[in-house]
Amino acid sequence: MQSVDGIHVIVRLAKLSVDKVLPAPCSTSVLYPEIGGNLHCFTAITSCAVLDILTPPYEEYSRRKCTYYRDYPYSSFGSGDELIDGKEDEYAWLEEIDAPDDLYMR
């Protein structure tokens, strides 16, 4: 458990695997988790459309939960882990959060 602005939060350390800009037009990207899951984030530099196909479908009642996170820079919390010294930009702390109110999946 860590503290952010005096509030205790439970965070997990995550390592960046790929960080890239995909210019339009571009070929299809397929994200397969090789280890530890598949966490991804889209940030638009210009107006665009993204089709994110989740399969198998996430369904709470089938115990296939889609989990959402708030990320914090590695420097937000101390870890005492000397192995990542100098590579802090490849790591982030993740706090599990509820699904965003404006999320729409069909």
pLDDT in tens, 23-50: 778 888 777 766 666 777 777 788 877 7
pLDDT of residue 13: 87
Domain-wise residue ranges, the chain: 2-97
In which band, very low, low, confident or very high, does the pLDDT at 106 lie, cut at 50, 70 and 90? low
Distances in whole angstroms, Cα of residue 98 to Cα of each of 28, 47, 69, 70, 95: 29, 27, 8, 10, 10
The total of other beta-carbon atoms located within 10 Å of residue 93's CB is: 22
Q: What is the pTM of this model?
A: 0.67
